[in-house]
Structure formats: C-alpha cells, structure tokens
Amino acid sequence: MELRNLPGVDKVLTHRRIAGITGKYPHDLLVSVIREQLEQERISIAGGKVGGSLDGIVKAVLGRLDSVLKPTLRRVINASGVILHTNLGRAPLSRETILAMEEASRGYANLEIDMEKGSRGSRQVHVESLLCRLTGAEAALVVNNNASGVLLGLTALARRKKVIVSRGQAVEIGGGFRIPDVMRQSGARLVEVGTTNCTYARDFEQAIDERVAALMRVHSSNFRLLGFTSEVSLEELIGIAGKNNLMVLDDLGSGSLLDTKAFGLAPEPMVQQSVKAGASLTFFSGDKLLGGPQAGVIIGKKEYVDKLKKHPLARSARIDKVRLAGLAATLLHYLREEAVSKVPVWQMIAAPLKEIEKRAGLWSKALGGEAKVVDGETMVGGGSLPGGSLPTKLVAIVSGRKKVQEIGRKLRLRERPVFGRIEKDRLLLDPRTVLPEEDEIIVRALSEIFKK
C-alpha cells in the first residue's frame, strides 16, 4: 500500500469493527489511537515496507486500544531466587498489612485528627509509638522512602556544614543513588576520610574542625569488601562524636528488627543496636527486611527528630495514609512476635529446605523429563546482606540457550507473568521466593507451555 492509498481517519472510524465499539470508548480516544496507528503505517511505508490492509490497520487499532486501557503495573510471580527484588517491587506484604491498606483506602480516615479533641493532629502518631516501643528510640518520623529520609536529615541538621564519612562508605546503590550526590543536594559538605578498604578512628579525629556537624555511617548495601580491610565501629564513632559534641547519623539502608544470624545469614546491622549504641538518628527502609510498604523510617533522639518534623522538606517527603496504615500493621507483627510466621519476607527466609525441595519436586513433575531439581542459592537482595544467601532447591530447565530464553519469555508474557533467571543455558525457578498459594499457577503455566 502506497502513502496515497493509506485510509483516512474517517474511513477507519466507519469500518464495521470500529463502528461496533464506538459506544464503548470516548470518541477522542478512538481518533487519537487511529492517528497513532496511521502514523506508524506512514513511517513503515517511508522505510520501504509494505503498508497494511484496512482490515490489518483496524486490527492494529483494536490492539492499541486494548494496550492503552490495560493497566501496565501488574502482579507477577517472583521465581527468580531474589527475595527483595527491587525491579519486582521488593517486599510482598502480609494479609493483615494488605487489609489495613485496603481499609484506609475505602473512605476517610483519622489521618491527622485528634479523636479526643476533635482538632488537627499528626499522622505520625499512628506509627511513632510503635517504632519507639520496638527500637527503644525516643522519637520517630516516617517519610516516603529512606533516600528522602537521609536527604531530610542532612538538610535539616547539616546544611552548610561538614559531614565526615569513611571513603569506603561513600557508596552508590541501585538507581544511581549516590551518597556524595545526596550530600550535595542537602547543602552539606562531604568529607571523606581513610581509604577505600581501611578507615581508622584517627582518620575521623584528624578531620574534625569547627565546621563539622556530624559523623556518618553508611551501610555498604549491595557490595562488600574482602581481604585487608578495617572500618570504624558505630560505637567508636559515637565515642568520638561525644568528645566533640557532634551528631552521629546512621544510614542502615535496609534495616532489620530481627537477628539475621538466627536464620543462617550473615549479620545485618539491627535497628535496635543502632539506637542502643547511641546514634543521634538512624535511617532505614520500610519495604526491605522490615517487610512492609515503601517508607523511610527515621528514629533517634527527640531533639533531632523534632527538628526534622518542623523542616519544610518534611512535608514534601511525607508518607500517605495507605502506606502509613500498612506500615503500622507490619510493625504490629513484630510487636506481637509473629513476624516470622506472618511477614512474607521472613516466611521465605525461614522456610525449611525440605519444604522447598518438596515444592520444587511438584513443579518438576509438571514437565516430565524436561526439568530436574538441583541445589542452589537464594539471595536476600534489595541492598541487604551483600553476598549473603540461603540454600535452596531449584527447578532447572535445560533445553539449549534459545529454547530456554523462549520459555522464559513465554512465562513472562502470561496473564500472570512468571519471572525466573537464566544461568549457563538453564532456566532456573526458585520456590523459596514464590508464595505457596502461587504454586498451582506455576505448575499450570509450565504444563501449558510444554504441551504447546
């Protein structure tokens, strides 16, 4: 079809298949989508390709309409073997957390109302006492995410002043979030001390002058240094800060309320330890090892938290009612000492290997001789426990590079997408990162793909 034979918008609109749906879609939307498809046809023809027929153009328009009106954010199944998979939304939420968020969404809520006085209150009351009770902190503030919490803390407390950080902790985490860049945006001046692999207490002591506001510890998040290394402990930092009347800011990144060593994992800095050691402020995420919705949690000494609450930036970083309700419900799991049995992240971490092997066997049976169960490792992910992993059992599909990639693609493009990982020409599926109620969906997906 040449350009002069390309149908106009009106001709496409009057086609029987389009005319039959005009009452279902706004006229302006229909016209817009038709124009987009016709423009695509023009580009194809100009590039030397043969243009589509009228019926073909109409079919493409209907496909575009479906694509435009179908939500792009969808629930998926994470069989990748990474528990806190940032690209897949990090922590799945407990049933109680989901119900609390749904309830807060249904109508109005006492978000900022003092129920006793009937006057305006603070949204922070719904989580502050829970956080203080769980961590031993004097005060708490919850914002949109951990990055905004760190930015708020530096802006409110160290603007135009120096903050000393070990060179080995001036890190970049996922999405290009760099500590030096955050410092710059906050107006604080970063002072790096020590070397990449070794920093000593004397390095901090020698860098202190009248312009220094704080010493800062930054969790290394998604990497670790091995070999000849030395770092200054939080307790040492707090001792140095106390002698010089300085603050200590502790960015834990992930932050855990449970001892990861009890689950066979490497030690992860615990929130309670930071508070007990005497950090002025401690920052951590709500949607990583805490296992709740996205949030940035700031806890610590009341005099500093109060300054953050009053800062103008706090309003632009504040958390909404839905996630606030979810965070409160998640914190209650910890207060009731039921996090391991109720919070999905900890359910996955604590799942016995025998249980994982049993589920992997059921998945493998759906494929007959196309798959086998093999030993593997599950990563915690999400910037937590760099290099730390849990033993698991994987379903391995070995069919050659191209076929394995095609199977992975078909799994991702299903109505309920399934994500695995490909290593050494094998498609690997990890039951540890899949919710047990999703097993049936996995088995059905694998059976249907291999039958075809």
Say which amino acid occupies 179. I
Strands 418-419 and 119-120: unpaired
Q: Give CATH for domain 95-339.
A: 3.40.640.10
Say which amino acid occupies 452. K
Closest to 24 (Cα-Cα) out of 59, 57, 65: 65
Rounded distance, CA 394 to CA 356, Å? 9
Asked if 148 contacts 177 with a C-beta cutoff of 8 angstroms, the reply is no
pLDDT in the model for residue 177: 65
pLDDT in the model for residue 95: 98
For the chain, the C-alpha Rg in angstroms (whole number) is: 27
Q: What are the extents of the domains in the chain?
A: 3-69, 77-85+345-451, 95-339
pLDDT in the model for residue 1: 52
Rounded distance, CA 132 to CA 269, Å? 18
- Cα 243–chain centre separation: 38
Rounded distance, CA 111 to CA 123, Å? 5
Nearest 5°: phi and psi at 78?
-100, 95
Rounded distance, CA 339 to CA 96, Å? 11
Containing 141, the helix (H) or strand (E) segment is strand 139-143
Tokens at residue 364, please?
């493998």
pLDDT in the model for residue 227: 65
Q: Which residues pair with 1 in a beta bridge?
A: none
Q: Reduced to 3 states, what is the DSSP secondary structure of residue 246? A: coil
* Rounded average pLDDT per 10-residue block, the chain, 452 residues: 80 90 89 93 85 88 90 94 94 98 96 92 96 98 95 96 89 68 88 87 93 91 67 93 96 92 91 97 96 97 97 95 98 98 98 97 85 94 76 90 89 95 93 96 90 70
Q: pTM for the complete prediction?
A: 0.90
- Burial class of residue 62 (count of CB atoms within 10 Å of its CB; 0-12, 13-18, 19+): middle
Indicate if the alpha-carbon torsion angle 136, 138, 142, 146 is positive or negative: negative
- Burial class of residue 292 (count of CB atoms within 10 Å of its CB; 0-12, 13-18, 19+): buried
Tokens at residue 43, please?
């580009």
What Cα–Cα distance (Å) separates residue 239 from each residue in 167, 231, 234, 296? 20, 15, 9, 27
Domain 77-85+345-451, CATH 3.80.10.10 — does that match? Answer: no
Strands 371-381 and 384-398: antiparallel
pLDDT in the model for residue 93: 98
